[in-house]
Structure 1
Amino acid sequence: MSYEKLLAPMAAAAHEVGAYLTSAPRPAPAGSFDELRETFHAVERPAIDLVHRHVDPLVPGAPWAEELDTTAELPRTGAFWVVDVIDGAVQYLQGLPHFCVSLALVRDGEPVAAALHAPLLGETYLAAAGCGATRNGVAVTASAKTSLAAAVVGTSQPPLAAEQPEAVAEAGRSLGAVLPAVLAVRNLGPTSWQIADTGAGRLDAFWEYGRDDTNLLPGALVAREAGALVTDAEGGRWRMGAKGFVAAPGGLHGALLGVLAGRA
């Protein structure tokens, strides 16, 4: 099956999970981290089962990233699925609307098919390697802006950021550098959706520090296929395991890299 032909069943999985999430009663706010985790898992488990039924037959034998030993890095060869049934789980559990369902197939270290669905927006991003990117079936392209001073830029941090102190330090330093250089900086919730919105020109650019591969991979494909440059913080092609991530159109990318590096 071609990567493009994977998109319809992937979208079906994302839509079914989205319908489940929006029809289920929102959990009551948790009082502790342990309660929060248990509440999340109670919602997550049925959603994962729904996705398994849709995607497992598509690439027989392809594991899910969570089934792999990812203590070091995700594998650079072979195929595996990256699935986040609630990207933006913190917002979902807090009763906020900023969450989505995120799926990607990764082959030999590169995302090759991606589906992202925000059920409360009624929107779905799809992308396959070499086939472009769409939102609700309409092709999307990155921003045409060329001035950072007019740019609305997104950012985020890896989950449980305290486990990556260098990323926390870089997040603070880079925010202080970017804020005075752009029109506005926003963190609009799920990382994958923010990157996809960068591909669609809703956000003009996006950056993040720290290792966050499973959240970055789906959006990275959408942004690349929409014409954005997707690199590490030094300007090299972004690959899994990189400590920095930047997505921006050609007219802004170099300037944003300069700000992040302290050259502007």
Structure 2
Amino acid sequence: MSDVQELLPTMAAAAEEVGALLLATPRPAPAADLAGYRRAFDALEAPAVAILHRRLDPLRPGTPWADEMETRLPESGEVWVVDAVDGAVQFLQHLPQFCVSLALVKDGEPVAAALHAPLLGETYLAAAGAGATRNGAAVAPSAKTDPQLAVVATSHPPFLGATQPEAAEPAGRALTAVLPAVAAVRNLGPTAWQLADTAAGRLDAFWEFGRDDANLLAGALIAREAGALVTDVRGRPWRAGAESVLVAGPGLHPALQGLLAPVSR
């Protein structure tokens, strides 16, 4: 067992403890303005982050934590990329799609990941070179080859119009290109969880335009370890800082890349 694989039980326990806290937390009325949303988010996040620090810091003493909204990864060394309430918008809107997302990143690459959805009672885990599981059972991507049978998903980075307006136009063109070619397009909440569900074949593919490292790193590792192809829309291996992502099983990936590559800027 590798040293990063040995981290997974504690990462899972940490994510599940935060999940239990979220289930026990009364949801406030949806905020009417940005200041109210920020207050509600901070009140929700602070106790969850405290649990994660208590659980994770002893695993890698001195390892820094990346800022969730402005994730900057060091070129070398390790860093925790953590989202205690991945899908906070949904949580605060009284929607069910949220999870806890944890990733340990080394030299710019995710090497250990844990995702926990408390309402589903499900936990995805992966470590570099050790495969991916959901609730202890190995997962694998869809074996479909016909896009017309595919249920695919997409999303966008937070506050896309304000932070990455250049990504909005290709995101719109992509939806126009993909909709006629597949059975259905969905957005099912936290980006990391959608990547993990693609890893497990629940979704047949996922794509996104824009830089979104904090929301992609954990799910990207789970998808890779499950055997999905994780690239940008031009087919290059996805890495932190990439301006797009495409995740699919080997049978569907070429067709979806053919649809998405022409609309990229």
What TM-score range do you get, normalising by the shorter chain? over 0.9
Q: Which segment drifts farther, 163-172 or 51-60?
A: 163-172
Q: Could you tell me whether the CA contact under 8 Å between 1:177 and 1:262 is conserved in 2? A: no
Partner of 1:217: 217
Tell me by how many angstroms 1:67 deviates: 8.4
Q: Aligned partner of 2:126: which letter?
A: A
Q: Structure 1 stretches of 5 or more lacking a match?
A: none
Deviations 1:47-103 (A, max 9, x none): 000000000111111101118974xx4222110001001111110000000000000
Alpha-carbon distance in 2 for matches of 1:171, 1:180: 15
Partner of 1:237: 237
Deviations 1:157-182 (A, max 9, x none): 00011121111111111011010110
Q: Could you tell me whether the CA contact under 8 Å between 2:66 and 2:73 is conserved in 1? A: yes
Length, aligned pairs only: 261
Q: Could you tell me whether the CA contact under 8 Å between 1:142 and 1:227 is conserved in 2? A: yes
Alpha-carbon distance in 2 for matches of 1:19, 1:67: 21
Tell me by how many angstroms 1:5 deviates: 0.7
Q: How does 1:37-48 map to 2 (within 5 A)?
A: 37-48=38-49
Alpha-carbon distance in 1 for matches of 2:175, 2:73: 28
The answer on 1:9 being equivalent to 2:10 is: yes
Deviations 1:89-147 (A, max 9, x none): 11000000000000000001110000000000000000000000000000000000001
Q: In the superposition, relative to structure 1, how do residues 108 and 6 fare at CA in structure 2: closer, same or farther (>3 Å)?
A: same
Q: In the superposition, relative to structure 1, how do residues 262 and 69 fare at CA in structure 2: closer, same or farther (>3 Å)?
A: closer
Alpha-carbon distance in 2 for matches of 1:27, 1:45: 15
Q: In the superposition, relative to structure 1, how do residues 152 and 47 fare at CA in structure 2: closer, same or farther (>3 Å)?
A: same
Alpha-carbon distance in 1 for matches of 2:261, 2:76: 32
Q: How does 1:26-175 map to 2 (within 5 A)?
A: 26-66=27-67, 70=71, 73-162=72-161, 163-175=163-175
Alpha-carbon distance in 2 for matches of 1:189, 1:24: 20
Q: In the superposition, relative to structure 1, how do residues 170 and 148 fare at CA in structure 2: closer, same or farther (>3 Å)?
A: same
The list of structure 1 runs, each at least 4 consecutive aligned residues, that deviate by more than 3 angstroms after superposition, is 67-70
Q: In the superposition, relative to structure 1, how do residues 69 and 153 fare at CA in structure 2: closer, same or farther (>3 Å)?
A: closer
The alignment partner of 1:29 has SS state of coil
Q: Structure 2 stretches of 5 or more lacking a match?
A: none
Q: Aligned partner of 1:227: which letter?
A: G
The alignment partner of 1:84 has SS state of strand
Compute the TM-score of the two structures, normalised by the length of structure 2.
Answer: 0.96
**How much identity, in percent, do the aligned residues show?**
66
Tell me by how many angstroms 1:210 deviates: 0.2
Deviations 1:172-207 (A, max 9, x none): 110110101100000000000000000000000000
Alpha-carbon distance in 2 for matches of 1:228, 1:26: 36
Alpha-carbon distance in 2 for matches of 1:61, 1:146: 46
Compute the TM-score of the two structures, normalised by the length of structure 1.
Answer: 0.96
The alignment partner of 2:37 has SS state of helix
The answer on 1:191 being equivalent to 2:191 is: yes
Q: Aligned partner of 1:64: which letter?
A: W
